[in-house]
């Protein structure tokens, strides 16, 4: 079967990982790239040997010649680009966060549904192999019925040097990083019905919040804590590891720093190393995230070919984005917010 042909829009900081992932993907390749910044367009085009380069998305779509687009621009442009792709009947991947507002996110999902085009949000954290290992361990039944959990990302890593725009937005950690942790909580503990959140800013040099703690009520009477911080200085910097705790009726699971997965039940305690592989193009400590980029892209190719909805489809991602919106509302008003209020 012929490879699917893709066009990448946005050749910035993170897109380089996506280009590496596409180079390794089975059944798909990138044939065109677009960025309004000529220097970034040139750098990515030269590194990956892509000759069809566009400074304008209108020119990119006018020329066509691809089966899907991979949108790797920042959030402000996501709605217009997804709607443009839908108007051209082109299957679309869009980076997280899906949109700046719920209204935009819902409009994007509707535009793709009306046009009949597949739409996936590049929500890659749930594709990290250590997180998959936690889910598989729960599904094996060893810890019994899950009643409590925690998804935690605490770091002092300087994310602002690679992504300076993160220091300037009114919203920071929930929208940028917490969104991944909230999606992982949904993936592991199921959909949430309500959230209670607290936020604060520790770093005076940024505009948004850099610490957030969310208490989630999940369907099935599971409670989870999702906590994230970019103001936490630890003896060994854990970036970019997501740590997970799960308590069940028959035992416990702990994904701890250094990618150790500890499963404890009446049968004993088993510790497994679940560190992801370092792909040929990857560089620790980013290898964890980089591997998940490859995995979600391969999932997209398989879903597109099979005509199946991808796991993190736009529709699915509305539930994750609703948690972001509900968390900000809860923190602003100091109350528990039901998801039904925002979706
Ligand atoms: P960036 O600013 O480094 O890159 C964005 C690029 O898009 C820039 O080169 C810009 O010129 C280009 N661009 C913007 N609007 C355009 C338009 N209308 N037409 C053509 N080009 C346009 O940003 P980044 O840090 O790479 O982040 C991009 C996206 O990736 C964000 O949504 C961010 O949240 C996401 N991201 C995801 C992960 C992850 O693990 N999934 C990690 C980092 C960033």
ipTM for this prediction: 0.99
Rg (CA), the chain: 20
Question: Under a CB-based contact definition with an 8 Å cutoff, are residues 169 and 271 in contact?
Answer: no
Question: Under a CB-based contact definition with an 8 Å cutoff, are residues 68 and 93 in contact?
Answer: yes
Q: How far is CA 2 from CA 15, 26, 29, 67, in A?
A: 24, 11, 10, 11
The atom of ligand 1 lying closest to the CA of 292 is 40
Distance CA 200, CA 292 (A): 29
Ligand 1 probe mutation, 8, 9, 14, 122, most atoms within 8 A of CB: 14
Chain segment 229-242, per-residue pLDDT in tens: 999 999 999 999 99
Q: How far is CA 288 from CA 18, 132, 134, 147, 276, in A?
A: 14, 12, 15, 28, 6
Question: Under a CB-based contact definition with an 8 Å cutoff, are residues 78 and 94 in contact?
Answer: yes
Helix H or strand E encompassing 162:
none
Q: 218, 224, 226, 132: which is closest to 177 by C-alpha?
A: 226
Distance CA 184, CA 128 (A): 10
Question: Under a CB-based contact definition with an 8 Å cutoff, are residues 211 and 202 in contact?
Answer: yes
DSSP lists the bridge partners of residue 8 as: 33, 70
How close is the Cα of 83 to the center of ligand 1, in Å? 17
CATH superfamily of 4-117: NAD(P)-binding Rossmann-like Domain (3.40.50.720)
Q: Is 46 exposed, middle or buried (0-12, 13-18, 19+ CB in 10 A)?
A: exposed
Domain boundaries, the chain: 4-117, 126-286+320-341
Q: Which residues, other chains included, contact 278 with Cβ-Cβ below 8 Å and sequence gap of 6+?
A: 284, 287
The confidence score (pLDDT) of residue 1 equals 87
CA 101 to chain centre: 17
Residue 122 confidence (pLDDT) above 90: yes
Per DSSP, helices labelled H in the chain are 15-24, 38-48, 57-63, 78-87, 102-115, 129-139, 173, 179-189, 287-306, 314-333
Domains 4-117 and 126-286+320-341 share a fold: no
The atom of ligand 1 lying closest to the CA of 124 is 41
Residue 254 confidence (pLDDT) above 90: yes
Mean pLDDT of 255-277: 97
- pTM of the full structure: 0.98
How close is the Cα of 15 to the center of ligand 1, in Å? 7
Dihedral of the alpha carbons of 53, 58, 59, 64, in degrees to the nearest 10: 90
Minimal-distance CA residue to ligand 1 atom 9 = 12
Percent of the chain whose pLDDT exceeds 70:
100
Distance CA 72, CA 135 (A): 28
Output the CATH code of domain 126-286+320-341. Answer: 3.30.360.10
What's the pLDDT band for 62 if we cut at 50, 70, 90? very high
State the number of CA atoms in the 13 A half-sphere of 169 facing the CB: 17
Cβ < 6 A, ligand 1 pocket: 9-15, 34-37, 40, 57, 72-75, 77, 95-96, 122, 124, 163, 165, 176, 289
Minimal-distance CA residue to ligand 1 atom 8 = 12
Ligand 1 probe mutation, 58, 70, 72, most atoms within 8 A of CB: 72
Chain segment 198-240, per-residue pLDDT in tens: 999 999 999 999 999 999 999 999 999 999 999 999 999 999 9
Question: Under a CB-based contact definition with an 8 Å cutoff, are residues 110 and 87 in contact?
Answer: no
How close is the Cα of 105 to the center of ligand 1, in Å? 17
């Amino acid at each position: 079967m012929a490879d699917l042909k893709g066009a990448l829009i946005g050749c910035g900081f993170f897109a380089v990982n996506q280009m590496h992932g596409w180079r390794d993907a089975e059944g798909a390749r990138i044939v065109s790239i677009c960025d309004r910044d000529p220097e970034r367009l040139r750098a990515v085009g030269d590194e990956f040997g892509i000759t069809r380069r566009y400074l304008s998305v209108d020119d990119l779509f006018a020329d066509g010649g691809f089966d899907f687009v991979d949108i790797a621009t920042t959030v402000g442009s996501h709605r217009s680009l997804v709607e443009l792709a839908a108007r051209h009947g082109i299957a679309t991947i869009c980076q997280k966060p899906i949109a700046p507002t719920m209204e935009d996110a819902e409009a994007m999902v509707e535009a793709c549904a009306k046009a009949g085009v597949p739409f996936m949000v590049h929500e890659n954290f749930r594709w990290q192999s250590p997180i998959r290992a936690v889910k598989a361990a729960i599904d094996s039944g060893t810890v019994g019925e899950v009643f409590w959990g925690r998804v935690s990302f605490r770091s002092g890593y300087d994310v602002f040097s690679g992504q300076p725009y993160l220091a300037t937005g009114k919203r920071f950690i929930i929208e940028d990083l917490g969104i991944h942790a909230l999606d992982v909580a949904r993936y592991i503990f199921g959909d949430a019905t309500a959230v209670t959140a607290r936020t604060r800013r520790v770093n005076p040099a940024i505009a948004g919040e850099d610490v957030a703690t969310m208490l989630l009520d999940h369907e099935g009477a599971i409670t989870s804590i999702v906590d994230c911080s970019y103001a936490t200085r630890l003896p060994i910097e854990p970036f970019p590891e997501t740590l997970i705790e799960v308590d069940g009726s028959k035992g416990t699971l702990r994904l701890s720093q250094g990618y150790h997965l500890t499963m404890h039940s009446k049968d004993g305690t088993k510790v497994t190393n679940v560190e992801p592989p370092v792909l040929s193009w990857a560089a620790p400590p980013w290898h964890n995230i980089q591997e998940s980029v490859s995995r979600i892209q391969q999932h997209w190719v398989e879903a597109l070919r099979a005509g199946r909805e991808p796991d993190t489809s736009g529709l699915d991602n509305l539930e994750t984005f609703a948690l972001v919106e509900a968390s900000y509302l809860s923190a602003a008003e100091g109350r528990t917010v039901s998801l039904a209020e925002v979706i």
